[in-house]
Amino acid sequence: MIRVEDLAIVLPGFALEDINLQVDPGEAFALLGPTGAGKTLLLEAIIGVVPVTRGRIFIDGCNLTGLPPERRRIGILYQDHALFPHLDVAENIAYGQRYCTSVLPDLGPLIERLGLQRLLKRRIHSLSGGEKQRVALARSLAVAPSVLLLDEPLTALDPNFREDIRGLLKTLHQDTGITLLMVTHDFAEAHFMAQRTAVMNRGRIEQVGPVDAIFDRPETPFVADFVGMKNFFPAVIEGHDAIIGNMRLRCTSQDGDFHAVAIRPENIRVRKGPFDGGTENYLEGKLKRILNRGFYADVRVDVDGIPFRAIDTRRHLNRTALAEGDTVHLAIAPEDIHLMRGLRQQRQRLIG
């Protein structure tokens, strides 16, 4: 188990503040956030190479805050593998064996499990990205760490290896029950690997919770944007209605003091002609831009001065011959309108 209490790290030009986190025994937990959010810094504080300004770090109930890395029994897996280039595969895997008292008695099963039998005498520079990551994983697990930290372990891999390693990490976690704390900026990766996640931004944790809850119910504008709710508008909530400027959108009732709404682009339907009547919200606007994203397109529509972003398939756009400048119709289901606290309330919540 990992517990971080009131952690702060103050560096010139950057600070981690008020970090409180608990990863339960055997849990896979993801730290999400954009580049520069402070995720790797937090990981390096947990492993013990970055001194903390305030706060405490516990592993399995022991306060490790002042201990050097070699006494923490925490494994780490970096995205660039950090393999020792002057040692061969076998020497890399066995590196920690002479230092740790609680090592795996026999590395054979681990090596076999990771498919490294034929690579043991190979030099590091001759391995592929996926092979390197498997060697790094074997090296970390060979000393039987109490927790394993993963610093964007899949980012540097090409798509074929990424699938392999992702599946391998998942099954290893399920089989060994080791506690995993994983840093990533990819929500899909977190969704696949982790049970819970924390979203970080500018040195602070914005939201902690189960992955699905964060995906469906973001609490801050940043988290909403991060999980793909690209339409975020300040709004006045009156009963079942959200009033955005002159526009009134029907939404499902939710308890709370809400001052904003967020809508996923994929939940906004766009067409040229009007929709047949129904229970959805129907809007009319002008198609401002169509941005090609490969199989789909990012569609920007202006409705009474309010910019909406929708996603549509290339096929549908081509079939309906939508073009920039057209008058278009939007449909949004009430249940797809997510009510949120406003910016002022968010700020108060963070300060409070």
Instruction: List residues binding other proteins (CB under 8 A).
Output: 44, 47-49, 68-70, 72, 74-76, 78, 80, 82, 84-86, 95-96, 98-100, 125, 139-140, 143, 145
Cα 245 to Cα 100, 205, 236, 260: the distances in Å are 64, 31, 9, 12
Q: How far apart are CA 341 and CA 343, in angstroms?
A: 7
Minimum separation from the CB atom of position 122 to other proteins (A): 16
Q: How far apart are CA 184 and CA 150, in angstroms?
A: 9
Q: In Å, how far from its chain's centre is CA 41?
A: 16
Minimum separation from the CB atom of position 224 to other proteins (A): 34
Q: How far apart are CA 304 and CA 16, in angstroms?
A: 41
User: Is the Cβ of residue 140 or residue 201 nearer to other proteins in the bound state?
Assistant: 140
Q: Check: CB of residue 228 under 8 Å from CB of residue 217.
A: no
Q: What share of the chain is helix, strand, coil (3-state, %, to 5)?
A: 30, 35, 35
Cα 98 to Cα 82, 95, 101, 117, 203: the distances in Å are 19, 7, 8, 21, 37
User: Is the Cβ of residue 44 or residue 298 nearer to other proteins in the bound state?
Assistant: 44
Q: Where are the alpha helices (DSSP H) in 9-50?
A: 39-47
Q: Which helix (H) or strand (E) covers residue 314, if one does? A: helix 314-320
Q: Check: CB of residue 281 under 8 Å from CB of residue 250.
A: yes
User: Is the Cβ of residue 10 or residue 243 nearer to other proteins in the bound state?
Assistant: 10
User: Is the Cβ of residue 73 or residue 309 nearer to other proteins in the bound state?
Assistant: 73
Minimum separation from the CB atom of position 126 to other proteins (A): 12
Minimum separation from the CB atom of position 108 to other proteins (A): 19
Cα 137 to Cα 80, 92, 273, 343: the distances in Å are 12, 10, 55, 42
Per-residue buried b or exposed e for 20-58, using 16+ beta carbons within 10 Å of the residue's own CB: ebebeeebbbbbbbeeebbbbbbbbbbbbebebeebebe
User: Is the Cβ of residue 145 or residue 221 nearer to other proteins in the bound state?
Assistant: 145
User: Is the Cβ of residue 95 or residue 296 nearer to other proteins in the bound state?
Assistant: 95
User: Is the Cβ of residue 85 or residue 277 nearer to other proteins in the bound state?
Assistant: 85
Q: Which of 285, 338, 334 is nearest to 310 (CA)?
A: 285
User: Is the Cβ of residue 31 or residue 262 nearer to other proteins in the bound state?
Assistant: 31
Q: How far apart are CA 135 and CA 153, in angstroms?
A: 12
Q: How many CB atoms lie within 10 A of CB 112?
A: 10
Minimum separation from the CB atom of position 80 to other proteins (A): 7
Minimum separation from the CB atom of position 112 to other proteins (A): 21
Minimum separation from the CB atom of position 87 to other proteins (A): 9
Minimum separation from the CB atom of position 76 to other proteins (A): 5
Minimum separation from the CB atom of position 192 to other proteins (A): 25
User: Is the Cβ of residue 32 or residue 47 nearer to other proteins in the bound state?
Assistant: 47
> Exposed, middle or buried: residue 327 (CB in 10 Å: 0-12, 13-18, 19+)?
exposed
